[in-house]
Amino acid sequence: MSEIRKNLDELKRIAESPRAQLDRVLSEGKKAIGVIPYFAPEELVYAAGMVPFGMWGAETQVTESKRYYPAFYCSILHTALDLGIKGEFRGLSAVMIPLTCDSLKGMGTNWRFGVKDIPVIDVAYAQNRTIPAGEEFTESQFKKIRGQVEEIAGCKISDKALSEANRVYNANRKECLRFTELAASHARIVSLTDRALALKARYFMERDAHTELLRKVNDELAAMPAEQVKGKKIVTTGIIADSPELLSILQESGFVIAADQITHESVDFRALADETIDPVKALARRLNDIKGSSVLYDPAKGRNTELAQIAKACGADGVLWVLTKFCDPEEFDYVPAKEMLDAAGIPMLQIEIDQQMVNYEQVRTAIETFKDIL
């Protein structure tokens, strides 16, 4: 038990101190490239001997970014840009900015004007990514990005190095998925905050190092008997759900996260790269295989079908839709999801969160009411 707590606390420390992790990387003489959501090919950065550094915003009040964005804008981008302008990412050699939603399409231009000392690598995907032409386009863009990363690193990225990066990232994805399953069956040992921070830490450290730490936790948990779940089991879905206040409310209300469909969490690591094909093609094809995110083109709304399947598979009592405030793709997805889950007899609660929120009492009331309904 003490060894589990030691490793979980180490992951917590890393997740809560991203700037300290960046300083450590830079002090070791390594280069780092920032990675803004969603689904950037950071394996290229790893293969070049550099460190990808996740940029999912932060719980903070913004000031400087208001010169570029209106108040009613995605808080992830608002806070990430604000931190960039204030110098919190000083030392990064570049920042990858995907163009996966309307808000992100303006992020690169705003970043170039607001954070002039950190160059931008634009990451374009085919919207209709699953058809052959879409996969070919995405692959061509990743090859272009490969050249940009090589220029920053000052070295060529061999196919062998990129194949190894795919292997390392696959190993991490498998360990993360294993952790979510073990955390659900050991809820008294792994709190909801432990769960979120253990997964979040991977964005701020080398993936092989994260895998090693998480594997130690998983092996210890696997050696223990599964617990009898006493609280209500839920599936969370949305963009991001790492708010300390939200997790505290859920914990106090006795909820257990049986599984998730969170872009920041399981959606990012469920799909694996094919290690048997060309490594750049494998990255493009992995993007095709990612399901469950509102920012990826999904005309048939397969996300909702998957959500219902996940809820039934883990025996969840209900679904918690964690809506990132002002996120249009999430808002558009909610109505068909609600209709589908109602038809399947699966209760769902939608709550709205923002990284600039200071008062969670309405969220608390809604969650406590949901618990009573369940």
| Residue 371 resides in a domain | yes
Same domain, 145 and 258: no
Mean pLDDT (the chain, rounded): 94
Residue 353: band (very low, low, confident or very high) from pLDDT cuts 50, 70, 90: confident
Give yes or no for residue 200 having a pLDDT over 90.
Answer: yes
Q: Which two tokens stand for residue 312?
A: 């039934």
Same domain, 146 and 174: no
Same domain, 54 and 36: yes
- Domain end among 139, 155, 171: 155
For 85, residues 6+ apart whose C-beta sits below 8 A from its C-beta are 64, 65, 114, 115
pLDDT of residue 357: 66
| Residue 281 resides in a domain | yes
Instruction: Return the percentage of the chain with pLDDT > 70, whole number.
Output: 99
Same domain, 361 and 295: yes
Does residue 62 or residue 173 have the better pLDDT?
A: 173
Does residue 200 or residue 75 have the better pLDDT?
A: 200
pLDDT of residue 70: 86
Same domain, 254 and 140: no
The answer to whether residues 109 and 99 touch, using CB atoms and an 8 Å cutoff, is no
Eight-state DSSP code of residue 281: H
Same domain, 294 and 189: no
For 244, residues 6+ apart whose C-beta sits below 8 A from its C-beta are 59, 193
Rounded to 10°, the helix 244-252/192-200 angle is: 150
CATH of the domain at 216: 1.20.1270.370
For 249, residues 6+ apart whose C-beta sits below 8 A from its C-beta are 360, 363, 364, 367
Rounded to two decimals, what is the model's pTM? 0.95
Report the distance separating Cα 318 and Cα 363, nearest Å: 16
CATH of the domain at 306: 3.40.50.11900
- Domain end among 189, 205, 228: 228
| Residue 192 resides in a domain | yes
Same domain, 287 and 329: yes
Q: What is the pLDDT of residues 23-68, one digit of tens each?
A: 999 999 999 999 999 999 999 999 999 999 999 988 888 899 989 8
Once rounded to an integer, what is the mean pLDDT over residues 366-373? 93
| Residue 24 resides in a domain | no
Encoded amino acid at 273, one letter: A
Give yes or no for residue 358 having a pLDDT over 80.
Answer: no
> For residue 226, with 0-12 CB atoms within 10 Å meaning exposed, 13-18 middle and 19 or more buried, which class applies?
exposed
Report the distance separating Cα 371 and Cα 354, nearest Å: 22
Same domain, 2 and 37: no
| Residue 122 resides in a domain | yes
| Residue 172 resides in a domain | yes
The answer to whether residues 249 and 371 touch, using CB atoms and an 8 Å cutoff, is no
**For the ranges 54-58, 195-199, 214-218, which has the lowest average pLDDT?**
54-58
- Nearest residue to 50 (alpha-carbon basis) of 138, 122, 148: 148
For 95, residues 6+ apart whose C-beta sits below 8 A from its C-beta are 33, 34, 35, 36, 55, 84, 89, 111, 115, 118, 119, 120, 121
pLDDT of residue 39: 96
| Residue 368 resides in a domain | yes
Q: What is the pLDDT of residues 249-268, one digit of tens each?
A: 999 999 999 999 999 999 99
Q: What is the pLDDT of residues 293-314, one digit of tens each?
A: 999 999 888 999 999 999 999 9
Domain extent for 40: 31-155
How many domains would you assign to the chain?
3
DSSP 195-249: HHHHHHGGGGS-HHHHHHHHHHHHHHHHTSPPPPP-S-EEEEEES----HHHHHH
Q: What is the pLDDT of residues 145-160, one digit of tens each?
A: 999 999 999 999 999 9
Same domain, 142 and 122: yes
Same domain, 277 and 373: yes
Q: What is the pLDDT of residues 95-112, one digit of tens each?
A: 999 999 888 999 999 999
Instruction: Return the percentage of the chain with pLDDT > 90, whole number.
Output: 85
Report the distance separating Cα 128 and Cα 144, nearest Å: 19
- Domain end among 228, 259, 276: 228
Q: Which two tokens stand for residue 203?
A: 């964005």
| Residue 7 resides in a domain | yes
Same domain, 209 and 283: no
Residue 201: band (very low, low, confident or very high) from pLDDT cuts 50, 70, 90: very high
Same domain, 140 and 57: yes
Once rounded to an integer, what is the mean pLDDT over residues 2-8? 92
pLDDT of residue 301: 87
